[in-house]
Amino acid sequence: MQTILAKTAGFCFGVDRAVSLVEQAVHEGRRVATLGPIIHNRHVINRFAESGVREIARLDEAGPGDTVVIRSHGVTRAVYEQLQQTGCEIVDATCPFVKKIHHIISACTGTGQRPIIIGTRSHPEVQAIAGWCTEPVVFETPQELENWLLEAPERANLPLRMVCQTTSTQNLWKSCCEIAKKVCTNCEIFDTICKATEMRQEEAGLLSQRCDAMVVVGDARSSNTGRLAMICRQYCETVSLVDHADELDMSLFSGAKTVGITANNKMSEELKVETAQEENFAELLEQSLKTLNNGDKVTGTVMAVGTTEIEVDLGTKHTAYIPVEDFTADPSVKVEDVVKVGDEIEAVVVHVNDGEGVVRLSKKRLEAGKAWEEVEAAVESKQVVEGVVTEENKGGIVVNVKGIRVFVPASQSGVPKGGDLAELVKKPVQLRITEVNRARRRVVGSIRSVAAEQRKAAQEKIWSEIEVGKQYHGTVKSLTSYGAFVDIGGVDGMVHVSELSWNRVKNPAEVVKVGDEIDVFVIALDPEKKKISLGYKTEETNPWTIFNKQFQVGDVAKVKIVKLMTFGAFAEIIPGVDGLIHISQIADRRIGKPEDVLSEGQEVDAKIIDIDQEHKRISLSIRALLTGAADEAAEEEAE
């Protein structure tokens, strides 16, 4: 007996995808529930049940913490919205072909077009489609459609939009289209039959004409499986519909020379038999359908943005999608933030499955291709490119430039020898590409050459503009015992320690530290020797200026005794400004020495009795206050 296995046998793309999404959710440890059976295959369902996957019939059976998978048949808009309100996580495994019908049919809203659906009323896919539009009319047969159109003559002139269930047969659909074209004046027709189904049915029909017996593998409850068996029975007397190898009644095939096998699901190993590798109509069909090739650059319109993929309309019969992971190489990009329904999108074709009419696209690959071209061009043009340092490794750092890994050797990183390369990680940098080998995916760059150039340009700019008195905002680069070197934008100037502060400073580190950003001004410059002297202390911070703003002769200040001498005591009025209290001004009586009354560190009130601006000297008196107080007391007594 020769057995021939249909090439199109197996799970279709949509069901395979739904099963994979459930498997993925289980693998991620989520609490998974499917809204209805995910597939008409009891083996798969049992396996999922053993993994803890629940099958729910009502929305109130799910809640926060659950991951609810919508099966490939899809659900109505109302169910989708109710699901969102339950607070559960939604994994939408609606087949992209079905989703496409939802888009087509929901576009009727507000246009006056009446939605017509050709399909089985009780089928969940049809019921879901009907839930994405208002006032849809469903017809199961061409006669029903014809009767409806003819029973009210005005209907023939209505604006109509007609789609069909993905698993409809070509014959039924063709008949409906002929009626619509004959009777209607304004009917938009969308052939939404799924290629996977169509091809499987056609192949089953052809195979059953060549074989003495046919085996149809699948769940008898599935309408797809039922249709397959029905098609086979049109041409072949012996058709056995089984769900598993152990259901086969081999006596049915006694005397059969050729047995064909088709399947609406993945077949068990026992049913996978050697098949005659004859030329197949599927290949021919495939050839005739193929309009897209791997590597083609395409432009389409975004039809839907899901959590796992972006559906794209390429204007062909194909259903095209970009898996989210193929959208961009930039991990910080959230797809839903940058792409929306209706956007035009460019991508490259990664895989064409003409059998099922599915095209997998990648925007990431398209961008990568462009990025490689740009990087290659940048070597020639020596153009500066930008990127972000992603990691430090043994010999240097890696910079992400438009999704391409560019290696920058430590010597080209711009970090001094022995410096910490890790400090560059996550920082944006500018670099020049020095070497590209696309075949080996090796790109080398240099940050140093850009930094050196930028520094040179900055230096030239500074030297062309610099003048005495000009102010700069700079960064302290290094300290020595005699001053601080400050980078004023590509050029270093030196602030001598005496110019750092009005106070007496022994070491510059008492005033500034490396990395500080400070305002400085030019005191002197020598373009020949490329030397710049900078000042940090200013007139506003001059303690004498501050003193003059705050005090005048006659004022009383709280002062601190800082030094006792034989002739008097020095007292600090404000930081950096001291005054002298002559020994005769310490008390209202004669004293032998200042320490008889005062001690260092003591705080006292003193009156400013003289300010010598020229010599910056201040005379203070405690006695003046005491005398004043005594005089006041005497005056009070006299009154």
Catalytically active residues are 125
Q: What's the rounded Cα separation, in Å, for the pair 142 and 389? A: 64
Q: b/e for 510-541, b at 16 or more Cβ within 10 A?
A: ebbeeeeebebbbbebeeeeeebbbbbbeeee
Please pick, from the candidates 3, 67, 72, 362, the single residue that binds ligand F3S as defined by CB under 6 A.
72
Rounded alpha-carbon distances, angstroms, from residue 18 to 74, 87, 264, 265: 11, 21, 15, 13
Closest CB to ligand F3S among residues 99, 537: 99
Among all chains, which residue has been given the structure tokens 């039809």? 303
Q: How far is the CB of 70 from ligand F3S (least distance, A)?
A: 12
Burial of residue 183 (CB within 10 Å: 0-12, 13-18, 19+) is middle
- Residue nearer to ligand F3S on the CB measure, 44 or 415: 44
User: What interhelical angle do 170-183 and 142-151 show, nearest 10?
Assistant: 20
The nearer residue to ligand F3S, 196 or 497, going by C-beta atoms, is: 196
Binding range to ligand F3S, per CB under 6 A, among 12-20, 46-54, 174-182, 310-318: 12-20
Cβ at position 97, least distance to ligand F3S in Å: 4
Instruction: Please work out the total of residues on this chain that contact ligand F3S, with binding judged by CB under 6 A.
Output: 14
Name the amino acid, one letter, at 430.
Answer: Q
Q: From residue 412 to residue 431, what is the string marking binding to ligand F3S with x (rule CB under 6 A)?
A: --------------------
CB of 404 to ligand F3S, least distance (A): 36
Interface with ligand F3S (CB under 6 A), residue from 6, 83, 98, 424: 98
The yes or no reply on residue 194 touching ligand F3S (CB under 6 A) is yes
Sign of the alpha-carbon dihedral angle for 426, 432, 436, 438: positive
What are the structure tokens assigned to 430, written together? 């500018």
CA distance 39 to 23: 13
CA distance linking residue 262 with residue 277, whole number of Å: 15
d(CA 435, CA 378): 10
Q: Cβ of residue 361: shortest distance to ligand F3S, in angstroms?
A: 17
Are the CB atoms for 564 and 597 separated by under 8 Å?
A: no
Residue closer to ligand F3S by CB (options 196, 211) is 196
Check binding of 15 to ligand F3S (CB under 6 A).
Answer: yes
- Closest CB to ligand F3S among residues 199, 564: 199
Contact present, 242 and 276 (Cβ < 8 Å)? no
Is 173 or 551 the residue whose CB approaches ligand F3S more closely?
173
Least CB distance to ligand F3S at residue 215 (A): 20
User: Closest Cα partner for 100 from 145, 35, 165, 38?
Assistant: 165
Q: How far apart are CA 280 and CA 6, in angstroms?
A: 9
By CB under 6 A, the residues from 346 to 365 that bind ligand F3S are 356
- State in angstroms the smallest separation of the CB of 13 from ligand F3S: 5
Which listed residue (12, 179, 267, 620) binds ligand F3S by CB under 6 A?
Answer: 12
Please report how close the Cβ of residue 389 comes to ligand F3S at its closest, in angstroms.
45
The contact mask relative to ligand F3S for 23-62 (x = CB under 6 A, - = no) is ----------------------------------------
Where do we find the tokens 């599915």? 358
DSSP code string of 118-137: ES-TTSHHHHHHHTTSSS-E
Stretch near ligand F3S under the rule CB under 6 A, chosen from 59-67, 189-197, 382-390, 502-510: 189-197
- For the CB of residue 358, give the shortest distance to ligand F3S in the complex, in Å: 8
Of 531-570, which residues contact ligand F3S (CB under 6 A)? none
Nearest to 30 by CA among 61, 53, 55: 53
Q: Segment contacting ligand F3S (CB under 6 A): 8-16, 247-255, 268-276, 412-420?
A: 8-16
Q: Cβ-count burial of 84 within 10 angstroms (0-12 exposed, 13-18 middle, 19+ buried)? A: exposed
Q: Which amino acid is at 526?
A: D
27's tokens: 């693998």
| CA distance linking residue 28 with residue 24, whole number of Å | 6
Binders of ligand F3S in range 145-174 (CB under 6 A): 166-167
Tell me how far, at minimum, the Cβ of 38 lies from ligand F3S, in Å: 11
**Residue of this chain nearest to ligand F3S (CB atom):** 14
**Residue 198: CB minimum distance to ligand F3S, A:** 9
Site for ligand F3S in 104-133 (CB under 6 A): none
Q: Which stretch binds ligand F3S (CB under 6 A): 91-99, 240-248, 324-332, 334-342?
A: 91-99
Burial class (CB in 10 A: 0-12, 13-18, 19+), 433: buried
Is the CB of 97 or the CB of 551 nearer to ligand F3S? Answer: 97
Nearer to ligand F3S, 124 or 568 (CB): 124
* Burial (0-12, 13-18, 19+ Cβ within 10 Å), 120: middle
- Terminal CA-CA length for the chain: 143
* Among 9-17, 130-138, 332-340, 582-590, the segment contacting ligand F3S (CB under 6 A): 9-17
Instruction: Name the residue nearer to ligand F3S (CB basis): 38 or 604.
Output: 38
Per CB under 6 A, the list member of 22, 104, 180, 196 interacting with ligand F3S is 196
Taking CB under 6 A as the binding criterion, the range among 51-59, 94-102, 295-303, 477-485 that sits at the site for ligand F3S is 94-102
**Closer of 129 and 583 to ligand F3S (Cβ):** 129
Q: Could you give the count of Cα atoms lying within 13 Å of 131 in the half-sphere of its Cβ?
A: 18
List of residues contacting ligand F3S (CB under 6 A): 12-15, 72, 95, 97-98, 166-167, 194, 196-197, 356
